[in-house]
Amino acid sequence: MKSIIVGTAGHIDHGKTALVRALTGIDADRLPEEKRRGITIDIGFADLDLGDVRIGFVDVPGHERFVKNMLAGAHGIDVVALVIAADESVMPQTREHFDICRLLGVGKGVIVLTKKDLVDEELLQLARAEAEDLVKGSFLEGAPIVAVSSRTGEGIDELKNALRDIGLQTPARSDDFVARLPIDRAFTIKGFGAVVTGTLIAGEINEGDEMELMPARERVRVRGVQVHGAAIKQANAGQRTAINLGGIDAASIERGMLLATAGRLRPTQIIDASVQLLNDAPRALRSRQRVRVHLGAAEVLARVRVLETNGEISPGKQGLVQLRFESPVVAVLGDRFIVRAYSPQVTIGGGTILDPFAVKHRAKDFAAIRARLEILATGDRAARFAEFVISAGVAGVSREDIAARTAWREEVIDSALAEAKVNGAVMNVDRRFLSSAAFDEVNRHIAVEVAAHHQREPLSRGLSKEILRERFFGGASAETFRAMMAELEKRGSFVVEKEIVRLPEHTRQLSDEDARVQDSLEKMFRDAGLSAPNLADVFAKAGLKPSDPRGRKILQLLIDSGALVKVHGEMFFHKSALDELVKKLRAHAQQTSDRAIDVGAFKDLAGISRKYAIPLLEYLDRQRVTRREGERRVIL
C-alpha cells in the first residue's frame, strides 16, 4: 500500500481540524487548551485508509501566532490540502501558508472550499475564483477544487476520491538516503519510556536499529516502531512514525531534534544556501540581518551574509547567502527551509541548502563562491560530489565527509565517485578523495620548490618534508600528507628518503676542492679507528673554517654513503672500524660459554676508554649485535 503525508494549510477558523475529523473520524486537537478555546494551537495527526493509498494527515494551526508550530509539521508533507472557507474566502494566513508550501517544494495538492453549507452558490463561485487567482502559476494551478461541508458531510466522498487520485500520482520517495526523522513531539509512556514522533522524510527505521539523536549526537536504540497506531517492524520514508527509544530520557529530547542513522550526519553552524524572497517581503534581505530559520522541525536564529555583488536580495528575487546559526543544526545538500523575519515574525522567503559545512567567505572570493554554489545547485550527483572534493583542496574529503554533507547511502556515494573518476575530476589518495586538479597543482609546486632547493644547495640531499607540508598542505592531516607524498613518489615525481624529498635526477656533484675535503675527512675518521675524532679538529685539519657550512654538508654525504656512522651526539665512526669491532665481538663470543661480555672486558677487547665504550655498546644494542642484561651484554 502506498503511504503519503497530507498537510492542511489555511487561515484560522477555516475548518481544517473539522475537515480532518470529517475525513478520518479523528479529532486532531489533543491539547486541553485547544478544546477549551476551540482553536488549533499545535500540530495534530490523523490517518485515513483509502484502500490502495494510506494517508497520514498533519493538521496545522492557522493562527498567525502559531506559524512556527505550523512549520514544524509542514516539513515532509507530500500533498497540501489548502483549506479556504467559502464564507470568508482567501485570508492572510491562507496566503502565508500557501507561500510556505511553495517555498518548501510541495509538488501536489488539492484546494478545499469548506463551510459550503453556509453560503449560496454565488459566494461559493466567488471563493472558487479567488482560490484560482491565488494559485495561478503555481504547483496548485489546475489542482482539484472540492467544496465540502464538514458538518453535513457533503463533498467528503468527492474529496476522498481526489486525495486517492493524487496519492497514486505522487512519486515514491527516493531510497538513496539514510534515515532521517525530524522530531515534532517527544513524551513518555509508562512502561515504555521515551517516545518520539515525526514524518520519516528519508530511509527506513527498523526495530532494534542503533540511531543517533542530533545535534546532541547521543546514541539510542529503537525499541519499538509504530505507524498509524499499529506496531510494525519497519517504518519507511513518507510515513508518520512513532519511535520508542531506549537509552535516553524523554526530558532530554526537544522538538527540532533529528533522529538519524548512527554515525552518518554531523551538526553544523555555517551553511551556504540559495534563498528566494517572497514578492511581498517587507524589505530586502541584507548582510548581518538576524532571521529565524525553520529547518525540519527546528527553529534556529541565524545571521545572514549575502553573497551577491550588490549585497542584498530584493523582494521577489533569488540569491545566494551564507547563514551563520546561533546554535547547531543538522542539514544536508538539498534540504529546504523557511526564513522568517526576526521581528515582527513574518515569513519573508525560503531556500535550499547547498553547502552544509561552509567556511566564512571573503568578499573578494564571492564570484568564485557563486560559481561553485551554482554547480551544487544545478549539477548532477557526480558534479556535486566532485565540487565538494575540489573545494577541499589538498586536504581532500573522506567518505564520511561526503555522507555528512549529503545523507547519501553508501551505494550512492560509490556511484557518484565512479562517475566523477570517469570524468577525471576525482582520484583516491589512501582513504580520501582528492581533486585531480589539486593533485597536479601541488605536484607542480613541489617540483619547483625542490628544484630551487637543489639549485641553491647542490650538496644537500633534498628538502625537508616538514617544510613542504607547511608550505603546500595547510589544512591537510598528517595521514593525508603522507599518502600524498607516497602517491607522488609512486608516480616517479620525487624520491622520498626518510624525512627528505628530492627530484629523481638529483645527484650531489662535488667540485675538485670539495672532493679533496671529503677524501681527507674520510681518511681521518678511518685512521682514528674506535677513537672518534673531534669534529672541529677534523674540519680544521681539512682546511675548513668553523663558519663554513660545507663541512657539515660533506659530512652528511659521507653518512649518506654509509662510510660514516653516527653513534651518539657528535660522535662519528668509520664503518670499517665498526665492522672490525663486530668481528672481534663475535670471535670473543665463540670463546665464552655464555656469550657475554662486561664493560671492562669490552674496553680491553676494543682498546678504548669508557668515553667511547658506553656509546658504542648502546649503539650495538640498537643494532641488535648485543643485548643488555644487567651490567653485561649478551653477544647475539
360 and 486 part of one domain: no
Domain count, the chain: 5
Same domain for 289 and 162, yes or no, is: no
User: Under 8 Å CB-to-CB from 544, ≥6 apart: which residues?
Assistant: 517, 550, 551
- Helices and strands, counts by H and E, the chain: 19, 35
State how far the Cα of 293 lies from the Cα of 324, in Å rounded to an integer: 10
- Mean pLDDT for 11-38 is 73
Instruction: Name which residue leads in pLDDT, 29 or 475.
Output: 475
How does the average pLDDT of the chain come out, rounded?
88
% of the chain beyond a pLDDT of 70: 94
More confident residue, 236 or 593: 236
Residue 33 pLDDT > 60: no
Q: Are residues 163 and 109 in the same domain?
A: yes
pLDDT of residue 498 exceeding 90, the answer is no
Where helices occur in 309-398 by DSSP H, the ranges are 366-378, 381-391
Is the model more confident about 382 or about 561? 382
Consecutive H or E run containing 537: helix 535-541
Residue 419, in any domain of the structure: no
Q: Are 287 and 311 in contact (CB under 8 A)?
A: yes
Same domain, yes or no: 81 and 32? yes
Cell 556515494, residue?
A: 413
Please identify, among 235, 261, 287, the residue that sits at the C-terminal boundary of a domain.
261
Residues 149, 255, single domain; the answer is: no
- Chain segment 332-371, per-residue pLDDT in tens: 999 999 999 998 889 999 999 999 999 999 989 999 999 9
Per-residue pLDDT, averaged over 256-277, amounts to: 96
Among 221, 297, 223, 206, which residue's Cα sits nearest to residue 257? 297
Distance set, CA 155 to CA 48, 83, 122, 488, 598 (Å): 16, 14, 18, 73, 107
Domain with residue 56: its CATH number is 3.40.50.300
Q: Is residue 423 part of a domain?
A: no
**Tell me, what's the pLDDT at 582?**
92
Is there a domain that residue 595 lies in? yes
Share of the chain above pLDDT 90, in %: 51
pLDDT average, residue stretch 255-279 = 95
More confident residue, 568 or 41: 568
The better pLDDT of the pair 505, 611 is held by: 611
Does residue 243 share a domain with residue 155?
A: no
- Does pLDDT of 229 surpass 90? no
Long-range contacts (CB closer than 8 Å, 24 or more residues apart) made by 451-456: 451/503, 454/502, 454/503, 454/506
Q: How many other β-carbons are positioned within 10 Å of the β-carbon of residue 314?
A: 15
| Gap between the Cα atoms of 178 and 198, Å rounded | 16
Residue 20: how many CA atoms within 13 Å on its side-chain side? 29
H/E/C letters for each residue in 288-308?
A: CCEEEEEECCEEEEEEEEECC
Q: All 3 cell numbers of residue 392?
A: 577541499
Query: Which pLDDT score, from 0 to 100, does residue 39 have?
Result: 47
**Residues 63 and 102 reside in one and the same domain:** yes
- The residues, any chain, with a CB within 8 Å of residue 47's CB and separated by 6 or more, are 24, 26, 54, 55, 56, 57, 228, 229, 240
Q: Taking the CA of residue 407 as centre, how many other CA atoms within 13 Å lie in the half-sphere pointing to its CB?
A: 27
Structural domain includes residue 207: yes
Residue 480 to residues 376, 393, 398, 463, 548: CA-CA distances in angstroms?
Answer: 25, 12, 10, 19, 38
Tell me the pLDDT tens digit for each residue of 383-434. 999 999 999 888 889 999 999 999 999 999 999 999 998 878 888 887 889 8
Q: For residue 11, give the nearest of 35, 40, 31, 36 by alpha carbon.
A: 40
Distances in whole angstroms, Cα of residue 432 to Cα of each of 375, 397, 400: 22, 5, 10
pLDDT at 32: 53
The predicted pLDDT at position 550 comes to: 76
Lowest mean pLDDT among 375-384, 476-485, 536-545, 600-609: 476-485
Q: Are 459 and 553 in contact (CB under 8 A)?
A: yes
pLDDT on residue 29: 57
Q: Which residues contact 605 (CB under 8 A, 6 or more apart)?
A: 584, 585, 588, 597
Q: Is residue 418 part of a domain?
A: no
Please indicate, yes or no, if residue 138 is contained in any of the structural domains: yes
Average pLDDT rounded to a whole number, residues 166-186: 91
pLDDT tens digits, residue range 60-102?
765 455 466 667 667 788 999 999 999 999 998 899 889 989 9
Domain end, chosen from 217, 245, 261, is at 261
**234/158 same-domain check:** no
pLDDT of 554 > 50? The answer is yes
Contact 43, 72 (CB under 8 A): yes
Within 8 A by CB and 6+ apart from 110, the residues are: 79, 80, 81, 82, 143, 144, 145, 146, 159, 162, 163, 166
* Lowest model confidence (mean pLDDT) among 124-138, 226-240, 438-452, 562-576: 438-452
Examine the domain organization and report whether 287 and 198 are in the same domain: no
* Residue 143 or 61, more confident: 143
Q: Residue 244 domain-assigned?
A: yes
Residues in the chain: 636
Q: Residue 524: give its domain's CATH number.
A: 1.10.10.10
Lowest average pLDDT, out of 456-465, 507-516, 583-592, goes to 507-516
Domain limits for position 460: 437-502
Residue 457 has pLDDT above 80, yes or no: no
Q: What is the pLDDT of residue 66?
A: 47
Residue 234 has which C-alpha cell?
519497519
Q: Mean pLDDT across the stretch 183-191? A: 85
Ranking 240-254, 314-328, 417-431 by mean pLDDT, the lowest is 417-431
Residue 35 has pLDDT above 50, yes or no: no
Whether residues 577 and 613 fall in one domain: yes
251 with 325, same domain: the answer is no
The answer to whether the CB of 123 falls within 8 A of the CB of 117 is: no
E strand or H helix that includes residue 581: helix 575-590
Same domain as 306, residue 273:
yes
DSSP assigned state of 66: G
The one-letter amino acid code at 568 reads H
pLDDT (0 to 100) of residue 544? 82
Predicted confidence (pLDDT) at residue 615 exceeds the cutoff of 70: yes
Residue with the larger pLDDT of the pair 119 and 488: 119
The CATH number given to whatever domain includes residue 199 is: 2.40.30.10
pLDDT at 65: 54
pLDDT value at residue 37? 47
Residue 443 falls within a domain, yes or no?
Answer: yes
Residue 319: per-residue pLDDT: 96
Q: Which of 202, 229, 261 is the last residue of a domain?
A: 261
List beta partners, residue 542. none
Mean pLDDT across 320-325? 97
